[in-house]
Structure 1
Amino acid sequence: MEEIRRAAGAYYENLPDEEKRNARFSFNEMDKNKDGKINLDEYVAYLKKDNNTVLPSLFTELDKDGNGTLDFDEAIVLYYIMQSGRAIICQSCKTFLAGAYFTCSQCFFNDDDSVSTFDVCCDCYGGKKFRHNDGHIFCDNYTLLCRSRSATQAAPIQKRTKVLNILKKGLQVAGITSSDLEGISTDIGDGIGDGEGSSKSNCSIM
């Protein structure tokens, strides 16, 4: 979780002023009793209002000092998780995936309209504590990033836009946001993201 905290801090420091105001607005909206901190009931109510899946165990992880509430710095980690697409849950043990995890590459690169993926924590993957389609190949999220770039660069020029659009549907599973795709798109040329299937990255789980 500490890696996520550092990423969230760096993410917030580099936000434009308007986005920082949005983060503060989200915190104030969550803080129903206006005491400057978020308790568990406020956390649950805030996430439930948009039909998000609620993990009370994540609240405990966010509460770094263990005082039972989230101050603004702790809540920024939740804001980052929701905005960046890092809200990934193990399909086996249903825990929040804060670090390295494994993703089914066939599900990830599926070129139909499905955006679902199959992700498991290292413990469940290493202990074979999950059930999935036989013969499917799993990659850790960092390897998946490298293979995603390789797949894009290996595609013929006329097919690269389609390949990138497929990747955009699943790249946030590896904690990659649309801004991270800019490094890939510079190698592909103009028109990236304009093709069919392009969508804005978002998060609807937590």
Structure 2
Amino acid sequence: MEEIRRAAGAYYENLPDEEKRNARFSFNEMDKNKDGKINLDEYVEYLKKDNNTVLPSLFTALDKDGNGTLDFDEAIVLYYTMQSGRAIICQSCKTFLAGAYFTCSQCFFNDDDSVSTFDVCCDCYGGKKFRHNDGHIFCDNYTLLRQSRSPIQAAPIKKRTKVLNILKRGMQVAGITSSDLQPSNIGGIITGDDEVRGNGCSIM
């Protein structure tokens, strides 16, 4: 969880002033009784309002000092996880995935309209405590991101737009926007559909 806390702090420090105000507004909106902190009931109510998945295990993880409430610094970590797509749970044990985890590469690179992925914690993956499609290849989240690069660079230029659209849906990394994924901003990343699916996570 400390890794995510550090990432959230760096993310917040680099936000434009307007977005920092939005983060403060979100905190104030969540703080229904205006006592300067978020309790579990306020957290649940706020997330349910927009049909977000409510993760009690995430609230516990966010509460760094264990006092049962979130101050603004702790709530910034929640803001970051929601904005960046890092609010991911294990599909098996339903715990919040704060560190390394394993993802089904076929689900990750699925090019239909679905944005869902199949993610499991290291304990569930290592202990085979999950059920998923037979024959699917799993990669840890860091390897999946790194392995995505090689086939992208080797592919024909004419299929660039298609893979960029796949990446826009699949890669939920803090601070990445649609404009960041334009070829002029990423050094001409290119790929083809076949190459993306053959992502070659050979270390598994």
Give the TM bin, normalised by the shorter chain: 0.7 to 0.9
Which residue identity is paired with 1:19? E
Tell me the residue number matched to 2:176. 178
User: Aligned-residue CA RMSD in angstroms?
Assistant: 2.0
**Aligned pairs for 1:4-23 within 5 A:** 4-23=4-23
Over 3 Å counting, the alpha-carbon distance change for 1:180 and 1:153 in structure 2 is farther
Tell me the residue number matched to 1:134. 134
Q: Give % identity.
A: 87
| Secondary structure of 1:82 counterpart | helix
**Aligned pairs for 1:35-54 within 5 A:** 35-54=35-54
**Aligned pairs for 1:21-36 within 5 A:** 21-36=21-36
How many residues were matched structurally? 188
Tell me the residue number matched to 2:188. 188
Over 3 Å counting, the alpha-carbon distance change for 1:177 and 1:130 in structure 2 is farther
**Aligned pairs for 1:57-206 within 5 A:** 57-172=57-172, 175=173, 177-179=175-177, 182=180, 185=183, 186-188=186-188
- Report the Cα offset of residue 182 of structure 1: 3.7
| Secondary structure of 2:70 counterpart | coil
Q: d(CA) in 2 for partners of 1:149 and 1:183?
A: 13
Q: d(CA) in 2 for partners of 1:122 and 1:114?
A: 24
- Report the Cα offset of residue 89 of structure 1: 1.0
Tell whether the 8 Å contact from 1:92 to 1:120 is kept in structure 2 after alignment. Answer: yes
Unaligned runs of 5+ in 1: 190-206
Deviations 1:93-125 (A, max 9, x none): 111111111111111111111111111111100
Q: d(CA) in 2 for partners of 1:184 and 1:149?
A: 15
Over 3 Å counting, the alpha-carbon distance change for 1:137 and 1:177 in structure 2 is farther
Tell me the residue number matched to 1:195. none
Q: d(CA) in 2 for partners of 1:182 and 1:150?
A: 19
Tell whether the 8 Å contact from 2:168 to 2:178 is kept in structure 1 after alignment. Answer: no
Tell whether the 8 Å contact from 1:153 to 1:160 is kept in structure 2 after alignment. Answer: no
Q: TM-score scaled by structure 1?
A: 0.86
- Report the Cα offset of residue 151 of structure 1: 2.5
- Report the Cα offset of residue 37 of structure 1: 0.6
Which residue identity is paired with 1:113? D
Over 3 Å counting, the alpha-carbon distance change for 1:140 and 1:167 in structure 2 is same
Which residue identity is paired with 2:176? S
